[in-house]
Amino acid sequence: MLDDNLRASRKTAHQRPELQLSFEFFPPKTDAMEERFWDSISKLAPLSPRFVSVTYGAGGSTRERTLRMVSRITSDTGVAAAAHLTCVGATRDEVDEVVRGYKQAGVNSIVALRGDPPEGVGQPFTPHPEGYQNAADLVAGIRRQGDFDISVAAYPEKHPQSADWDADIDNLKRKIDAGANRAITQMFFSNADYLRYVERAQKAGVTATIVPGIQPIHSFKQISGFASRCGASIPAWLAERFEGLEDDPETHALVAAAVAAEQVTELLDEGVTEFHFYTLNRSNLVLALARLLGRRP
């Protein structure tokens, strides 16, 4: 049984003024996908997120679409939009031009990333000879261009290319010191990994918030594929929960909701008040999770 005090503290979660939510989307490729994108945005916008962010395709492949989506979110919904930006395969001037485009479109928030090489995630990264060297360098470049709100990436299970934990945390610190306002984590499924990571970062002098990136599992097969590509592990207990549900979408959806609910309420009980949701352009599960955290339209 849940302790009554714990349940009461969850019940009053909506009264916590500091609760901050953000929602990540990817730029849609087709008209049908675009319809779902705007439908989801319209359902999530009334939750007053800090921002709705739109990713930047590998190697800048969605440059125009990302700009079009963030411009429209800003102008049509009144919700702040954050544009992701990577520095793969581009000169500093080219990246700076994208930053100017965001600024002109009224987008004041950027998620600044190094990105992955065209050969794929996990392959060695070689910066463009005239480009930004890494995410910290990019953050400094964006700072030189204006007063943007900047988020950077963090990895509760360590970035696959970091030599060790010290190197990983040093890199996070460099990004914050270069001017980032916060870090958002890669998806993770063991809250202990996240909490340990935050502790490591704080011990190293990182004072900025490290916002947990929550990935609801709409499709276990798809999400485990994403996870293995980005170096996030799938704990055995999680795989067991979804085992045999490939052809049973209803039970799969219920298990997915229960797993994500458990993750966010546990983090809330640990004192976490800022959450970033990887929506995959869907709204249902995220709407339910926001409600559990005490946020309603």
Catalytic residue annotation: 24
| HEC per residue, 120-187 | CCCCCCCCCCCCCCCHHHHHHHHHHHCCCEEEEEECCCCCCCCCCHHHHHHHHHHHHHCCCCEEEEEE
Name the residue nearer to ligand FAD (CB basis): 53 or 252: 53
Q: What does the CA dihedral 139, 143, 147, 151 come to, rounded to 10 degrees?
A: 10
Least separation, in Å, of the C-beta of 218 and ligand FAD? 18
Judge contact between 287 and 44, C-beta under 8 A.
yes
Name the residue nearer to ligand FAD (CB basis): 115 or 242: 115
- DSSP assignments along 70-115, one per residue: HHHHHHHH-S-EEEEEE-TT--HHHHHHHHHHHHHTT--EEEEE--
Rounded Cα distance between 36 and 58, Å, is 22
Paired with 185 in beta bridges are 154
Least separation, in Å, of the C-beta of 221 and ligand FAD? 21
Name the residue nearer to ligand FAD (CB basis): 115 or 131: 115
Rounded Cα distance between 169 and 234, Å, is 22
Judge contact between 172 and 152, C-beta under 8 A.
yes
Q: How far is CA 93 from the centre of its chain?
A: 26
Name the residue nearer to ligand FAD (CB basis): 165 or 237: 165
Least separation, in Å, of the C-beta of 154 and ligand FAD? 7
Least separation, in Å, of the C-beta of 76 and ligand FAD? 21
Name the residue nearer to ligand FAD (CB basis): 175 or 218: 175
Which one, of 173, 163, 235, lies nearest residue 202 by Cα? 173
Which residues are at the interface with ligand FAD (CB under 6 A)? 55-56, 58, 84, 86, 111, 113-116, 134-135, 153, 159, 161-162, 167-168, 171, 175, 184, 186, 213
Least separation, in Å, of the C-beta of 122 and ligand FAD? 8
